[in-house]
Amino acid sequence: MDGELILVVEDQPLNRKLVRDVLQAKGYRTIEAETGEDGVRMAHEQLPALILMDIQLPGISGIEALQRLREDPVTRALPVIAVTASAMQQNQREILAAGFDGYLPKPIDIASFLEVVRKKLDEGVRDEAN
């Protein structure tokens, strides 16, 4: 489906711009937050089809923001993919163990980034049993 709404939670303006430009060029709509707190609020208000969440954010971390999303019945089932520079294998395992629905390393590879986004959107709402 074209035009799905994606929430980008990223504090670095250049990273946010790159992700926004790549997604919008493919026909997705985007909204953006610079902090975990704003990301949680916007997710609750806008109910995006997908959330792309940085881990290192000012205020609460991406992991804490994810925990808040999962605790809220309104946002619990929203798929959330971590997009982070923490590319070590141990970091990836910890991030996925925290409950993220996927993991994308920075700097992003545009082709694989778009492939993961499309795949997650095609899967739809996450399975609440996970």
Q: In this structure, is residue 77 part of a structural domain? A: yes
In a domain? residue 129: no
In a domain, 128, yes or no: no
What is the reported pLDDT for 1? 53
| Within-domain flag for 19 | yes
Average pLDDT, the chain: 92
11 touches 54 (CB < 8 A): yes
Number of domains making up the chain: 1
| Structural domain boundaries, residue 89 | 5-123
For residue 26, is it within any domain?
A: yes
pLDDT digits (tens, 9 = 90+) for 31-70: 999 999 999 999 999 999 999 999 999 999 999 999 999 9
pLDDT for res 126: 56
Range 8-13 average pLDDT: 97
Average pLDDT over residues 98-104: 94
- Top-confidence residue, 85 or 27: 27
DSSP label of 77: T
Contact 114, 26 (CB under 8 A): yes
Confidence check: pLDDT of 99 > 80:
yes
Instruction: Find the CATH number of the domain harbouring 22.
Output: 3.40.50.2300
